[in-house]
Structure 1
Amino acid sequence: MTRSWWGWGNVEDEIRGAELDTLLDRVRALVPGELAGHEPPDVAALGLPEPRVSAPASLAALCSADPGDRAAHAHGKAFRDVVRNLHGDLRHVPDLVARPRDERDVVDLLDWCTREGIAVIAFGGGSSVVGGVEPRCSDDRPVVTVDLGRLNRVLEVDVTSRAARVQAGVFGPHLEEQLAPHDLTLRHFPQSFEFSTLGGWLATRAGGHYATLYTHIDDLVQSIRAVTPIGVSESRRLPGSGAGPSPDRLLLGSEGTLGVITEAWMRLQRRPRWRARTSVRFADHAAAVAATRAVAQSGLNPANCRLLDAAEALIHAGVNAPGGVLVLGFESADHPVRDRLERALELCRDHGGVPSAERGGNGDDGTGGTAGGDAVGDTWRASFLRMPYQRDALARHAMIAETFETACTWDRFDELHHAVTEAARQAMHKVTGTGVVTCRFTHVYPDGPAPYYGIYAPGRWGSTVAQWDDIKAAVSEAIATHGGTITHHHAVGRDHRPWYDRQRPAPFATALTAAKTALDPAGILNPGVLLAAG
């Protein structure tokens, strides 16, 4: 497979042919337009500037100045990144891409960059959608992107404690392959799973497979090891500790600003044997939200509890349900889960939900036998995995297709949801004339949901980044004003900084700045992310 330098995933998996025709027909039915296609430029024609720095002889073998390498590490994978790539707009590119072979190489790279005042951006899979890996430095200093892809092994497995010591550069599928012989799994499956790494998940506090209980990578961490410009930090491996503020919590979500995460001990699970899943349709969205809250507060802890609103259900599951569809799933390595699903369905019926007659999953005898499928859930899951490719195809046809997410408490959801959707509609009407906004819950907690919104609007080729930026600013203001977080699991990066600065408490900002100064005296680590460069 060939990784796309300009868009999501593999070149061979791009949307083409009949799949593309079907996608464009579906979009035209929602937001009419010409949808003329555009091809990405050839990297060789981009005319990238010459590197401003050369690696010393001791590190030269680790560093690449290849234009294709530099272009592929210039942006993340957000809509605005993809569009800028399509236009050949790579005004910020790393001067070099370094690929350390081990932790000693990381230390040597940081020592060199500290001495020379070179910015360092830690790079996992490059799937950031918030400008987190973009070498956009306000002082225009040279940049070395440190790609950790060679640090990709499971180093130790503790079967007794169900934990493993894992290098940070391992991609999701390769991690699971290495755990499989031990009948263990991390069970962390973000949408970017195939193209993101453990270190990236830790650095951005990624949200994964579970819609309840173990929602963030934070919940699966036992200890973290990271290289900082002043030394190596490694927390003690423990199931829990009350010894002061957690050193792991300082690095979780630090987005490469405090150190380069090189490995971590991760809590594992046995691979599930029992599964049960289905979907529930609703005639009223408020009732669907109430049912979802009841399930989230029940203690049943479903692995999947995703509420799709009417637009999301129609676009991505092909279902006409005025109040939306709740996709439910339970799993366990220890015991049958059919009774949990049935209790959840009772709660849904209490709020007017109509469960599908289909049930998916394994039989309760644990043999792995299939007990039928759930067409709605299956269709949505298949579409979910193709969404980033669909986004890229639409971007090539001057469509604005992007997402944003937040979280809030249940008591604030109605007000926030109304404010956000109205802000999105008004902004789309202002900059494009029309558009569609969708919503689904990606994760739900006893005290609140994590709404995830989609935007589909016709753009003008050459202006879609500016149009999206206007929409994004409007919805971000609505989120900040009505008590949501600027990000639930997409991270802060550079794109969310203005709203993050307003969200965090001032004393914490002071403490974070002090930590940055202490750990990174030369200010080389991902300058401009989380904190102003300086």
Structure 2
Amino acid sequence: MRSHWGWGVEADAPDAAAQRKLARTLKEQLGWDSLLPTEAVAVEDLTLPEPKVALPATLATLASVDVRDRAQHTYGRSYRDVARAHAGRFDHPPDAVVRPTSQAEVANVLDWASEVDVAVIPYGGGSSVCGGVEPDVGTPGRGVISLDMEALAGLIDLEVTDRAARFAAGTYGPAVNDALRPHGLTLRHFPQSFEFSTVGGWVATRAGGHFATGPTHIDDFVESITMETPAGAWESRRLPGSGAGPSPDRLVMGSEGVLGVICEAWLRVQPRPTFRASASVGFETLDAGVRAVRALAQSGLSPANCRLLDPVEALLAGAAASGATGAVLIVGFEGADHALGEVLSRALELCGDHGGDVSPGAMSVREGSGEPARSGAEEAWRSSFLRAPYQRDALVGLGVVVETFETACLWSRFEATDAAIRASIRNAMDQAGLEGIVSMRVTHAYPDGVAPYYTVMARPTPAHGQPVGVNDRIARWDAVKEASMEAITTERATATHHHAVGRDHRSAYDRQRPPLFAEALRAVKSRLDPSGIMNPGVLIDAG
């Protein structure tokens, strides 16, 4: 059973023993004391407002007004979402959770919602960390439903010759892989939310996977999209490439549910890898590591993994060698066609040109039949990467403020951008009464730029000697979030590299896009969603 307040399934939620163990670790590493475990408010103790709307008899069988259902669909999984849900504070629950079982039923729901002016929030796996699925539509008293696509799931069609697969939008990441595995294929799209996110959600948010170079954004895999809008159905033609005017798929990708409901997508798939080669490289300074990453990104070698962890991040992830105090680069290659040992050797030569050091035992080459396992620092990083959302929930239970901010900028602007973001976050933390750490890792690298990803973990200092409640913690988090958005905007970086815009990144996104583009987007929405029911307030103003 999925957790109604935190990441993943309820059985994996951090218990009091796990929180106490984490509290001891934080005391040892950061000197933090007085961190006490707390339990999330149970579903049976929640009181939600009565639904404001009811679906007609023809659609009622698709709807649920169960308290757990409504609570689970109130938020995504950002810090402020989890903190509020943990405290039992569900500010804007949907009036109902609706689960259509066909595209025709999606159309019927949108027709009804348009007629009665009920807002519709498309919902995939609910893993949004930017306010993208919260039913806060800006109009008090307006009815809202959460349109959960989980019943529209599975592999619909597979063209091995074209190496493409058609999936229903509600298909979760593991189910995508399971469906392709018997055919020796994979999508090769693995966001951190892979286990609890869907095909439709990936497309709607322009999700990024964890592969650092080459195909990594869902944009690289989409061949065709089928979407249901309040104005009618939308389906693009399957093509390997096209120069015929603006791409209809480019308009849908990243639309975050404001234009319609993504129902299906044809995706480009690839052979499963049988070769893997990886190594961890130590650098005395972060700057040296950044120069090595740029050399790799511009070399044409296209490593699958090229994660640079600053000293704090390396320590937290357990990727640093014993006694090491510098930055760590995890570099790796994988593929299905040829051995990769020579490619890795050339990559390590480039790293050595910038002072990189490969310690004994930090290199792994797996070649042969079957899917190779990961090992060493690569596996340590991957394990930490997948555990991070669960650890975040444990930190929330201890009253710690923890969140991530990501962006992308040009190589020529990275040094100034990194310094400005760190300084802005640090200053905001000081002003907000947050004592803690700021760490950074490079998640993706391009020939022309880089994507830095920042983590803030802080302990709120008591106000007037009193415990810091959830509202106070969220207010302090808001101040840091606003500061990060301001620095990103000032440095002309992007509002988001792969977390989407939602409601939390609107301030930076509004200033990033050309004003005329915003007007054009509003015009498109007006044509496809004339009643303004689709995810009001996301990307563009409600109404």
TM over 0.5: yes
- Cα contact 1:291–1:351 (8 A) shared by 2: yes
Deviation track 1:28-55 (CA, whole Å, cap 9, x = no partner) reads 2225231112111122322111111111
Inter-CA distance 267–367: structure 2 relative to 1 (3 Å threshold): closer
C-alpha distance in 1 between matches for 2:234 and 2:225: 8
C-alpha distance in 2 between matches for 1:117 and 1:360: 59
2:375 partner letter? G
Inter-CA distance 116–458: structure 2 relative to 1 (3 Å threshold): same
1:479 partner letter? I
Residue 137 (structure 2) aligns with: 137
Does 2:188 correspond to 1:187?
yes
Deviation track 1:439-498 (CA, whole Å, cap 9, x = no partner) reads 001111111110000001002333211111011111111111012111000000011111
Residue 294 (structure 1) aligns with: 295
Q: How does 1:211-290 map to 2 (within 5 A)?
A: 211-290=212-291
Question: Once structures 1 and 2 are overlaid, which stretch shifts more, 459-468 or 517-526?
Answer: 459-468
Residue 12 (structure 2) aligns with: 13
C-alpha distance in 1 between matches for 2:492 and 2:24: 38
Inter-CA distance 134–369: structure 2 relative to 1 (3 Å threshold): closer
Question: Once structures 1 and 2 are overlaid, which stretch shifts more, 508-517 or 20-29?
Answer: 20-29
Question: Once structures 1 and 2 are overlaid, which stretch shifts more, 349-358 or 15-24?
Answer: 15-24
C-alpha distance in 2 between matches for 1:515 and 1:368: 45
Deviation track 1:107-129 (CA, whole Å, cap 9, x = no partner) reads 10001001111000000000000
- Cα deviation for residue 161 of structure 1 reads 0.8
Does 2:167 correspond to 1:169?
no
- Cα contact 2:309–2:441 (8 A) shared by 1: yes
- Cα contact 2:96–2:144 (8 A) shared by 1: yes
Inter-CA distance 321–421: structure 2 relative to 1 (3 Å threshold): farther
C-alpha distance in 1 between matches for 2:338 and 2:438: 40
Residue 51 (structure 1) aligns with: 51
- Cα contact 1:203–1:254 (8 A) shared by 2: yes
- Cα contact 2:19–2:37 (8 A) shared by 1: no
- Cα contact 2:20–2:36 (8 A) shared by 1: no
C-alpha distance in 1 between matches for 2:511 and 2:368: 53
Inter-CA distance 233–137: structure 2 relative to 1 (3 Å threshold): same
- Cα deviation for residue 418 of structure 1 reads 0.5
- Cα contact 2:254–2:500 (8 A) shared by 1: yes
Q: How does 1:286-325 map to 2 (within 5 A)?
A: 286-317=287-318, 319=320, 321-325=324-328
C-alpha distance in 2 between matches for 1:356 and 1:333: 27
C-alpha distance in 2 between matches for 1:50 and 1:433: 37
- Cα contact 1:427–1:470 (8 A) shared by 2: yes
Residue 126 (structure 1) aligns with: 126
C-alpha distance in 2 between matches for 1:433 and 1:57: 52
Residue 36 (structure 1) aligns with: 36
Residue 396 (structure 2) aligns with: 395
Q: Which residue, 334, 340, 343 being the options, matches 1:331?
A: 334
- Cα contact 1:313–1:321 (8 A) shared by 2: no
Q: Secondary structure at the match of 1:474?
A: helix
- Cα contact 2:16–2:38 (8 A) shared by 1: no
- Cα deviation for residue 73 of structure 1 reads 0.2
Residue 72 (structure 2) aligns with: 72
Inter-CA distance 147–361: structure 2 relative to 1 (3 Å threshold): farther
Residue 508 (structure 1) aligns with: 517
C-alpha distance in 1 between matches for 2:375 and 2:130: 36
2:226 partner letter? R
Inter-CA distance 209–128: structure 2 relative to 1 (3 Å threshold): same
Inter-CA distance 16–329: structure 2 relative to 1 (3 Å threshold): farther
Q: Which residue, 497, 515, 518 being the options, matches 1:488?
A: 497
Q: Secondary structure at the match of 2:367?
A: coil
Q: How does 1:79-158 map to 2 (within 5 A)?
A: 79-140=79-140, 141-158=142-159
Inter-CA distance 106–31: structure 2 relative to 1 (3 Å threshold): farther
- Cα deviation for residue 25 of structure 1 reads 2.5
C-alpha distance in 1 between matches for 2:511 and 2:262: 27
Structure 1, unaligned runs of 5 or more: none
- Cα deviation for residue 195 of structure 1 reads 0.3
1:225 partner letter? T
- Cα contact 1:80–1:465 (8 A) shared by 2: yes
- Cα contact 2:130–2:501 (8 A) shared by 1: yes
Q: Secondary structure at the match of 1:136?
A: coil
- Cα deviation for residue 366 of structure 1 reads 4.3
Residue 408 (structure 1) aligns with: 409
Question: Once structures 1 and 2 are overlaid, which stretch shifts more, 41-50 or 519-528?
Answer: 41-50
2:153 partner letter? N
- Cα contact 1:429–1:435 (8 A) shared by 2: no
Deviation track 1:244-267 (CA, whole Å, cap 9, x = no partner) reads 100000000000000100001000
- Cα contact 2:282–2:326 (8 A) shared by 1: yes
- Cα deviation for residue 346 of structure 1 reads 0.3
Deviation track 1:89-108 (CA, whole Å, cap 9, x = no partner) reads 11201001000011111010
Residue 346 (structure 1) aligns with: 349
Count of matched residue positions in the alignment of Structure 1 and Structure 2: 531
Structure 2, unaligned runs of 5 or more: 461-467
C-alpha distance in 2 between matches for 1:476 and 1:323: 28
- Cα contact 1:278–1:356 (8 A) shared by 2: no
Residue 461 (structure 1) aligns with: 469
Inter-CA distance 474–369: structure 2 relative to 1 (3 Å threshold): closer
Tell me the TM-score normalised to structure 2 length.
Answer: 0.95
Q: Secondary structure at the match of 1:494?
A: coil
- Cα contact 1:362–1:369 (8 A) shared by 2: no
- Cα contact 1:399–1:456 (8 A) shared by 2: yes
- Cα deviation for residue 373 of structure 1 reads 3.1
- Cα deviation for residue 377 of structure 1 reads 2.3
Does 2:208 correspond to 1:207?
yes
1:137 partner letter? V
C-alpha distance in 2 between matches for 1:390 and 1:471: 20
1:532 partner letter? D
C-alpha distance in 1 between matches for 2:18 and 2:349: 38
